[in-house]
Structure 1
Amino acid sequence: MSANRERIVRKQMYFSAVEWAGIVRRMRTIGSRNFSQFARDALLSVNIIVSHKEANNRALISALGRIGNNLNQIARQVNTDQVVTLSIVHRCLELMEEIYQLIREDMEERSGYGQGLETDPSEPTRSG
């Protein structure tokens, strides 16, 4: 590999004969002769359709409901007393952080983020 090479990550793919014929047909249609450039353009410009996995969200919904109730109680107190203290602001920030953490964990669990990653994406690979 050239020391001046801009693209340092290499990925390999396998296609069936039918899949490859479809790719070649698409490349001819747009006048592309270079598969690497065609694949880069296709992967970087396509709109990805996200499939939402059905999951049992009862625990998440329950936890978010509890936090929402706490925030509502704080808001009611602030509206009644017309006073916002530093401790109230800190408690609200703690609850918001808890919401963020719960949602992040749920999203990671659904997407499998962090599971099965072979290498750091910033690390160059020779194949894969």
Structure 2
Amino acid sequence: MQNKDQKYDSRFIRKSLRFSPSEYSKVEAQLTTLGVNFSNFAKNAIINHQITIPIQMDLIYELNRIGNNLNQIAKSINSSEKIAVLTQLVEIEKQLQKLQYKQEI
């Protein structure tokens, strides 16, 4: 006969969380208020709530610069300055490579 841990380990994926004492007291207060156990509370919180990703202002700044360059390119194309357009396209490509490098780090 299998023991309890082996039975659950073969059927379920187990994850653990760590809380500071102040964080856990907040969790316990919510558990008491809602009248649920921790497992159900955690599953519901993880599955049913969207995660917000912090905004990286440096990336927004870089994207803004790229947008400005694209606007300059559009203006140059309309005024038929072909060499300036190619120069700006090369600059945008360099900026995109820098952004890609930042994301890989």
| Higher percent of residues as helix | 2
What's the TM-score, normalizing by structure 1?
0.43
Q: Which has the bigger relative contact order, CA under 8 A and spacing at least 6?
A: 1
- Rg larger in 1 or in 2? 2
What's the TM-score, normalizing by structure 2?
0.49
